[in-house]
Chain A
Amino acid sequence: MILITILLIAFGGAFVTYLAGKISGKLRNILAVLVSLALVVLISLIYRREISREYYTLPFLNLKLILMSNPLSWFFAIIIAGIGLLSILYSLEYMKDKERLDYYYFTLLFINASMLGTVISGDLLSFFIFWEIMSWSTYLLISYKGGKAIAAGLKYIIMSIIGSLAMLLVIISLYSRYGTMEISAIASYMQTASIGYTLFILITSSLSFVIINAFWPLHTWLPDAHAEAVSPFSSVLSAVLVRKGIYGLYLFMYVILGLNILNKLHVGFISFSSVLCGIGAVTIVFAAFTALVQEDSKRILAWSTVGQGGYMLLGIVFATASGMTGGMFHVLNHCIYIALLFFVAGAIEHRTGGIRNINELGGLIKRMPVTFIAALVGISGLIGIPLTNGFVSKWLIYKTLILGNHPFLAFAAFVGTWGTVLYGYKFIHNIFLGQLPEKYKHIKEAPLLMQLPMILLTVTVILFGVLPGIPLRVISAIQRQVALPPLQTTLFGIPKEAGELNMINVLFAILISCFIVWLLFRRAAKSVPVQQDDSYAAGSYVPKEKYHYTVNFYNPLSKMITPYLRDVASLFYLNIARGTQRVCNIIRRVYVGEVGYYAMYIVLFLAFLIFIQMFF
């Protein structure tokens, strides 16, 4: 009963919020927060329930709506609800002066609702329906700002439709073969399916998830969409929506097919998982270095979203205890810190009046300290510095790769991390360190309502970094559900039998070393802050902005790597588009604009038909 309540509150809340917006803006804001808060509370309530299913028969077409809650869906549902709540809180201040707010809140709540629907639906049809609602409302919200955003939204929806159609094909095929759409029933039928059919199902369905999760050849929609969406929604997009691909892959690979079948899917040494691994590795390296040469703060984060997806893929493809745990944990971690970082980028955009080019920023550390700390913690999590949650999951993934004898994949992951370090430092440095431009001398710290989600997420990053046992326990419940070996965990990490990791020791070690470093700097600090004087060149005044040394950060390195970073996939699609346009241009010539020719076409067709009729 509680699942349908969640769905009703989620969808109904969206509509009620929209209607309330027609009455007054304040009521709408309160309702939006209340609805998302209620969702978080309700979803927290169903934690620890065993697998439960609810059956409803819809009054038309005799369709069945099956809702299902299990650890996997709970895991994703709590992420969705949590990030949804935070982004709504954040939008209260961020979106204050924007237009069409009713539409904005409605669509945001609607996307949350449909994402919840996809994770708690127990049959493939309702999964597909919620998925489509999600795609379309996401499209509407990406193109909210107009202008370039419309093109970005269009890019997204085209790719998304391709994926959805592939998924529909799978669903129809499964239904016509087995006569049911319930996931558990299909899972039991699929155990006896032939290898070819299984491969067909797996590849076709994963097309959709690969697109939504933006893995390498199909990633082109993501950077534009993330950069052009409004910041609170970018965080939802990047943290939650994109990870629905991981959920779908997990659902099809492990819940429906299971490990036994997956191990059988290989031709020679190429197996389904190895292909996915290759995709993940390419995604990591390519995205990390592309992020390095970006100059737009949100675009950097968008490319990092692409790259981090590769780690998750590398984690969950290896069905070992540590790999699976690492992958799933990375989903959670990435969601937390990327939401945080998008909030940071949004706060800066909000205060500086829409500046996203990081070359124009700098020195904001004095003006926006809270934001700076949030950004620092977020970037640390992204890089995987110990004491942040990213460290634990990346550690698990590296461990899997090394122990599983995959040196190339491990190398790719390391290279990706180096790239991450570089662009993370660039992000922090160009925005917060260095010289403060003249025009930003008087900007203020982000408003309190925007700080609140950032602080919450910052605390969470540290909390899960020091006490990784909390989320790891949930994740091991997921593994138990799909009959994979769970990872043994303690509150502070991983016990000795499963491979030692104890964050409390790391914490003390780091605290002590920090203390020592602090002492050293205290004693041996040589740098003295000086005032920058006006400077003149050939007698004329040189503006201070010209000395802004954060411009062209990593210039030699970017020059070196840029030739290798040509986005082959994107170029390929562009060429397809151009080719189609050319062909259509040629075809278009039949419209000569003269009636006689049109009549001639008709008679030509008639003659053609008669010709066929007479001779064949």
Chain B
Amino acid sequence: MNFLSNNIYYIGCFGLIFIGLYIVLTKKNLIKVIIGINFIDTGVNLFLITIGYIRGGTAPIFSRPGLNPERMVDPIPQALVLTTIVIGVSVLALALSLAIRLYHHYGTLNLRKIRELKW
């Protein structure tokens, strides 16, 4: 139980990453694969934030006087993840538009049938 309570966030983010990877590895529907990629994205974001966390810390915002700067969590991963999320959604949209295009071209989203990359 102690182990679990120490590592529950790690379990969460890596569980998410592994489920995403599993989806990417095994599923054959293109949109499903993109969903998996989104899971990986979320998991990595969660991991970055988890690394910057301090037990009992506060958010890095001096919204009221008397906050202890010693107990503030790391602002840098937060800043990185902030931009990552936005980039993630735009890349996701790009991937989905490609999926739409592929569907219009091949009439299917099944990756086993779209084998143009083979040579």
Contact = CB atoms under 8 A, between A and B. Distances in A.
A/B touching: CB–CB < 8 A = yes
Nearest to B28: A596
Contacts of A591: 117-119
A596 B118 contact: no
A594 B24 contact: no
Given A599-B25, A603-B21, A603-B25, A594 B119 contact: no
A593 B116 contact: yes
A592 B117 CA distance: 7
B111 interface: yes
Contacts of A595: 24, 33, 111
A588 interface: yes
Contact of B24 (A588, A593, A596): A596
Interface residues of A, number: 10
A600 interface: yes
Contacts of B112: 594
Given A599-B21, A603-B21, A592 B27 contact: no
B115 interface: yes
Interface in A565-596: 588, 591-596
Identify whether the interface residues of A are mostly helix, strand, loop, or mixed: helix
Contacts of A603: 21, 25
B102 to A, nearest CB: 11
Contacts of B6: none
B92 to A, nearest CB: 15
Contacts of B111: 594-596
A329 to B, nearest CB: 56
30 contacts: A591-B117, A591-B118, A591-B119, A592-B115, A592-B118, A593-B115, A593-B116, A593-B117, A593-B118, A593-B119, A594-B28, A594-B112, A594-B115, A594-B117, A595-B24, A595-B33, A595-B111, A596-B24, A596-B25, A596-B26, A596-B27, A596-B28, A596-B33, A596-B111, A599-B21, A599-B24, A599-B25, A600-B25, A603-B21, A603-B25
Given A593-B119, A596-B26, 13 more contacts: A588-B119, A591-B117, A591-B118, A593-B117, A594-B111, A594-B112, A594-B117, A595-B33, A596-B24, A596-B25, A596-B28, A599-B25, A603-B21
Interface of A: 588, 591-596, 599-600, 603
Interface of B: 21, 24-28, 33, 111-112, 115-119
